[in-house]
Chains A and B, each alone.
Chain A
Amino acid sequence: MQDLLRYAIREAEALGASDAEACAAASSECEVFIENNDVKQAKSQTTSSVGIRVLLGGSTGFYSVNSLTRSKIKDAVSMAIKIARVSPKDKHNALPCKSKASLLQGIYDKKAASFDASDAARLAAEMLGIANSYDKRVSVDSGNFNADVLTHALANSNGIDLSERASIFSWSIMGMAIENSDISSFDFQLGGSHFVNDIDVRAASTEFARTVINSLGPRRIESFEGEMLLTPAAANEMMIEVISHSINSDAVQKKSSHFAGKIGKQVASDLLTVDDDATNVEGLGASSFDREGVPHRRNIVIEKGVLKKFLYNTYTARKDGVRSTGNASGSTSSPPSVSTTNFVVRPGGSSLDTLISEVKKGIIISRFSGNVNPVNGDFSGVVKGGRLVKNGTILHAVKEVMVAGNVFEALRRLNGLSKERKIIYDSILPYMRFDGISFTAG
């Protein structure tokens, strides 16, 4: 694979490119789908693709093709050059230089090579069996078990020449509980690991079944102001996109980040510490280098509520006169953008049970269905799988409750984080509790 990438760079330079980058990915995956309380289909396939980026006097061109043959790569290079010729110049366009990189241990399991569709089928069936036997009112609408071995490689004209392999096992389950005419809200749970021995479908499946059963028999409530306890999944839906957007240098430069100009300032309760950490191998976003070949590292973004840094790729870093933080992102089919890798919220000191027992009046939210504005932080939506808590006791499921507020204000009102955390693909999150939240009866 790396020979082909070096070939692409030589070709681009021969056609007049001042700089060139070639990025390739190959995947071998098997997947079993679940539909309507049964396994539905098994899939087994390999894919591969390459993305070519060239710079030509400050202009950039990009072409991607899902083939790793010399002739296709040659055509892709000449098309990328053609595109660069019609693109406007931008003095910040540049490729990173070679730097010392070491490969991360703990993201590839040798056992993945012999893991096949029959293993995926067994685990999908196990996941279904656990949900259906938890309670006969549980109905699984869909789900999957996926095993993927990914190889990615990157080379550029500054001498970067890297390649890495990772194994990723991931699974999901979605559905509702049905009791006569009472249909609960959807719930969706997922899990993932890099190692065969760490595969645990039971946790996701049980959590899903428990959540949908708990949201049967919902009652209307009066509007009130109180505490909001978000599950990791709900925190992911309501909070994380806004924080990720606000710490992204691209959003800062485009003046759409609420955190612009706030480095060193308190932006959240001192309970909150956030790392962007591709080196945390628990997260499925773990890898050794970013989409441009810059080594990954742990970036402390928010420490005890204080904003520490923004996340950069090479282009946005040049604009601000700083160094890339290793956050160039994207697949082979796009030029690099900027994004978080593993979004890690450090755990709190209390157990989930303690967090619940301390609530005077509030709602535990399993899922949030609504709109979140990443620019100004406003959110409004419907509470899903919500349960009313009074004086530390969970009373009953609630229905048609709207919740609205502002993420940035809420982060300052964060008053509890659980010890327990969940891995939601590339987020590692605890339960998060906030006070002063308005709930409106529908």
Chain B
Amino acid sequence: MSNDGHVIDSLRSLISSSTRTSYVEARYQARLTTEVNFVNGELERIRIVENAGCGIRVLVDGCWGFSSTNNMSLLKESLSHAISAAHVLAQTKKNKVKGLAESKMATGTFYTSSDCNLSDIDIEQKVQVAREGEKAARSNRAVKAASCGYRETLDYKAIVSSDGADVEIFDSKPEFSVTAIAKRGSQSATAHEGIGVTGGWNDLFKKSHLEYALAASERAARLLDAKHVSGGKSTIILDPAMVGLLSHEAIGHTVEADFVLSGSVVKDKIGEQVANELVTLVDSGRSEIANNAGGTIIVDDEGVAAGRTAIIEKGILKSFLHNRESAMVFGIESTGNARAFQYDDEPLIRMRNTFIEPGTDKLEDMIKETKHGYVVKGARNGQADANGEFMFGAEEVHLIQNGEVKELMKGASISGNAFEVLRSVDLVGDEFQYDIGTGYCGKYQPAKVDGGGPYIRCTAVIGGLQ
């Protein structure tokens, strides 16, 4: 990974040379992505991608300008492009940026803690886990198709701003995923397993790659014979991945301050009860409660220390998610949610690790106390709307009758209004897990995020085919 000591020095001298700006930030990022994918016994794709350069953002007369370059000898030219860009908005921008909130600007060098650096693992070994994982996913005879992929991103970033940010960050995010598709006649069933972490090789493979593959293989085969759920409003126990997806997709997006400012459903609800008091919902740049969460960032892309933000605390809506500009509008500090995907992307308000905190209930008691309902596992794709309405896919559903888990049923969709669902929460499990770390969130740019929680019991509509 490139760590040319000159990089941060050249950013520092660029920032100190800038006189025509009220704010300037230079963010160098060198990213190395490695990806290996096997499908049905064949190599589908192998690639390494190097992407490095510097993004420069300026505030001039209350208008933002951005430019970037992959040539570090052209920083000054890039700065003047950013300034010219800001100038073109002078005529058209109605509400000029009043300023940026005072926030905890980070200084120093930060490293992701890694058990076994990814750069010390040979490419051969990365090919091997993907190849063996794909093969093991086909180990059950009912499985007719499988895929398995390994992907890692290694980042070096240097961020210097005229407001005091001066950081270097070394980050490492590997992920491993496997899919098994079982088929018989016209019936088919799909099972996914995977993990995405912030950390090293041994943090990713605490469980062996074969364990994930065999679990997917076995579950796909079992789902083949499963029956469909009969739809309707029901008592539902969501697994940590579903809780993560709900927290991120259906609640998290509605509290992103840029979205709040244009009229989100939660606009005037700070201080109001929006969920059951058992619910504390958090977005954090740190890996709270459990280690190696996939969306961990130590410092955000404005150079603000990225800490913990309680969005909902004991059922009360407490905070939105901010960058420095929106925090200024709300008269608070930035929550450290400004994130850019690559050097040539500008920072936007994005989530990090979004989760519900654990409670005190044991999963077995939660099941025992359910007369009729479903345990819903394995978050798939989801959508949510401006008004909190959501619909998510789940891969597996387990029927509960009279306090006992009965049969495994086919995947289904869960829908409802996110805030109504959170108000219906009546039991919150005591075990916590991050489990959507193989996911990316899309909002003009991708972002690596994670989410999770304990098992929670709530009421929602279940049904539909997957």
A334 touching B47 by the CB < 8 A rule? yes
For A178, list chain B residues within 8 Å (CB). 263
Residue contact A63 to B387, C-beta cutoff 8 Å: no
Q: By the criterion CB–CB under 8 Å, are A121 and B385 in contact?
A: no
A391 within 8 A of B: no
Q: Do the beta carbons of B144 and A185 come within 8 Å of each other?
A: no
Interface of chain B residues 71 through 129 with chain A (CB within 8 A) = 71, 78, 81-82, 84-86, 88-89, 91-95, 123-124, 127
B200 is an interface residue with CB less than 8 A from chain A = no
A36 near B391: Cβ-Cβ < 8 Å? no
Chain A stretch 75-105: residues in CB contact (< 8 A) with chain B: 76, 79, 82-83, 86-88, 90
Question: Please, how many angstroms separate the alpha-carbon atoms of A118 and B82 in the complex?
Answer: 13
Say yes or no: A183 contacts B263, CB within 8 Å.
yes
Q: Which residues of A contact B144 (CB under 8 A)?
A: 255
Chain A residues within 8 Å of B273, by CB:
none
Q: Is A118 within 8 A of B48, CB to CB?
A: no
Interface: A175 (CB within 8 A) = yes
Binds B, one of A365-373, A412-420, A422-430: A365-373
The reply on B1 being an interface residue by CB < 8 A is no
A268: Cβ under 8 A from any B Cβ: no
A-binding segment of B35-43, B160-168, B274-282, B367-375? B35-43
Is B170 interfacial (CB 8 A cutoff)? no
Q: Is there an interface contact between A139 and B262, defined as CB atoms closer than 8 Å? A: yes
Contact between A176 and B263 (Cβ–Cβ < 8 Å)?
yes
Chain A residues with Cβ below 8 Å from B69 are: 45-46
Which of B201-209, B331-339, B458-466 is found at the contact surface with chain A? B458-466
Determine which of B50, B84, B188 lies in contact with A65 in the assembled complex, contact meaning CB atoms within 8 Å.
B50
Report yes or no: A87 in contact with B263, Cβ–Cβ below 8 A: no
The segment from B58-66, B236-244, B307-315 that touches chain A is B58-66
Q: How far is the CA of A122 from the CA of B50 in the complex (A)?
A: 35
Q: Is the CB of A64 within 8 A of B49?
A: yes
Q: Whole-angstrom distance between the alpha carbons of A371 and B461 in the complex?
A: 15
Query: Contacts A32-B89, A41-B66, A45-B68; is A378 near B145 (CB within 8 Å)?
Result: no
Q: With CB as the reference atom, state the residue of chain B lying closest to A337.
A: B45
Query: B48, A380: Cβ atoms under 8 Å?
Result: no
CB-nearest residue of chain B to A62: B47
Give the distance to chain B from A397, nearest Cβ to Cβ, in Å: 13
Q: Which A residues are CB-close (under 8 A) to B52?
A: 66-67
Assuming A86-B123, A370-B391, is B258 touching A35 (CB within 8 A)? yes
Bound together, the chains give a CA A44 to CA B89 distance in angstroms of 13
Q: Which residues of B contact A369 (CB under 8 A)?
A: 383, 385, 391
Do B385 and A41 have beta carbons less than 8 Å apart?
no
Chain B residue at minimal CB-CB distance from A61? B46
* Residues of chain A with a CB closer than 8 A to B444's CB: 142, 144
Give chain A residues whose Cβ lies under 8 Å from the Cβ of B82: 44
Cα A79 to Cα B50 in complex, Å, equals: 11
A375 contacts the other chain (CB 8 A): yes
Judge whether B259 is part of the interface by a CB distance below 8 angstroms.
yes
Contacts A36-B258, A79-B48, A382-B415 given: A121-B92 contact, CB under 8 Å?
Answer: yes
From the candidates A38, A87, A371, name the one contacting B466 in the complex (CB within 8 A).
A371
Q: CB-nearest residue of chain B relative to A371? A: B393
Q: Could you say which residues of chain A place their CB within 8 Å of the CB of B402?
A: none
Q: Are B145 and A254 in contact (CB under 8 A)?
A: yes
A335 touching B47 by the CB < 8 A rule? yes
Complex Cα gap A65–B415 (Å): 43
* Contact with A60, one of B46, B258, B262 (Cβ below 8 angstroms): B46
Min distance, Cβ B324 to any Cβ of chain A, angstroms: 14
Interface string of A312-347 (1 = CB under 8 A from B): 000000000000000000000111010000000000
Whether A141 and B48, one on each chain, are in contact in the complex, defined by CB atoms closer than 8 angstroms, is no
Between A32, A76, A79, A183, the greatest number of chain B beta carbons within 10 A of the residue's beta carbon is seen for A183
- Provide the bound-state CA to CA distance between A87 and B71, in Å: 32
- Across the interface, B48 reaches (CB within 8 A) one of A35, A36, A62, A402, namely A62
Produce 1/0 per residue, B367-399, CB < 8 A to A. 000000000000011010111010101000000
Q: Is there an interface contact between B81 and A44, defined as CB atoms closer than 8 Å? A: yes
Residues of A within 8 A of B95 (CB): 38
Interfacial chain A residues near B45, Cβ < 8 Å = 62, 334-335, 337
Q: Counting CB contacts under 8 A, is B344 at the interface?
A: yes
**Residues in chain A near residue B181, CB distance under 8 A:** 256
Contact B85 A40 (CB under 8 A): no
Interchain CA distance A83-B123 in the complex, whole Å: 7
Q: A30 at interface (Cβ–Cβ under 8 A)?
A: yes
Asked if B92 and A122 sit within 8 Å, CB to CB, the answer is yes
Minimum distance in angstroms from A255 CB to a CB of chain B:
6
Which residues does chain B contribute within 8 Å of A48, judged by CB atoms? 70
A338 to chain B, nearest CB (A): 12
| Cβ-based interface call for A6 (8 A) | no
Interface presence of B177 (CB below 8 A) = no
Enumerate A173-218 residues with CB–CB distance to B below 8 Å: 175-176, 178, 183-186
* Contact in complex: A185, B383 (CB < 8 Å): no
Neighbour of B49 across the interface among A44, A45, A60, A333, CB < 8 A:
A333
* A139 in contact with B263 (CB, 8 Å): yes
Q: Is the CB of A38 within 8 A of B94?
A: yes
CB-contact partner of B85 in A43, A72, A144, under 8 A: A43
Distance, CA A334 to CA B85, complexed state (A): 31
Please give the distance in Å from A63's CB to the nearest CB on chain B. Answer: 5
Q: A residues within 8 A CB of B403?
A: none
Which residue of chain B has its CB nearest to the CB of A29?
B344
Q: Does A140 contact B (CB under 8 A)?
A: yes
B265 within 8 A of A: yes
Query: A178–B145 Cα gap in the complex (Å)?
Result: 47
Contacts of A333 in B (CB 8 A): 47, 49, 51
CB distance from A141 to the nearest CB of B (A): 4
Question: How far is A373 from B411 in the complex, measured between Cα atoms in Å?
Answer: 12
**Nearest-neighbor residue (CB-CB) of B81 within chain A:** A44
Q: Are B145 and A66 in contact (CB under 8 A)?
A: no
What separation, in Å, do the CA atoms of A32 and B86 have in the docked complex? Answer: 10
From B51, B91, B262, B380, A36 is in contact (CB under 8 Å) with B262
Closest to B57 in A: A41
Contacts of A183 in B (CB 8 A): 263, 265, 386-387
With a cutoff of 8 Å between Cβ atoms, the chain A residues found around residue B461 in the complex are: 442
- Partner of A83 from the list B46, B67, B78 (CB cut-off 8 Å) is B46
Per-position binary interface string of chain B over residues 438-466, scored 1 when its CB falls under 8 Å from any chain A CB and 0 otherwise: 00000010000000000000000100111
Q: A18: CB under 8 A from chain B?
A: no
Chain B residues, Cβ within 8 Å of A116: 88
Which residue of chain B has the shortest Cβ distance to A64 in the bound complex?
A: B49
Task: Report the minimum CB–CB distance from A258 to chain B (whole Å).
Answer: 11
* A6-51 interface with B by 8 A CB criterion: 30, 32, 35-49
Q: Give 4 new A-B contacts, CB below 8 A, not counting A175-B262, A333-B49.
A: A62-B48, A142-B258, A183-B265, A382-B415
- Can you name 9 A-B pairs with beta carbons within 8 Å? A32-B88, A41-B63, A42-B63, A44-B81, A45-B68, A45-B344, A47-B68, A66-B50, A121-B88
Q: Give the top 10 A-B pairs by smallest Cβ distance, nearest first.
A: A41-B64, A42-B85, A380-B464, A125-B92, A118-B88, A141-B262, A36-B262, A43-B66, A65-B50, A62-B47
Interface, chain B (partner A; CB < 8 A) = 39-40, 42-43, 45-53, 63-71, 78, 81-82, 84-86, 88-89, 91-95, 123-124, 127, 131, 144-145, 181, 188, 258-259, 261-263, 265, 344, 346, 380-381, 383, 385-387, 389, 391, 393, 413, 415, 444, 461, 464-466
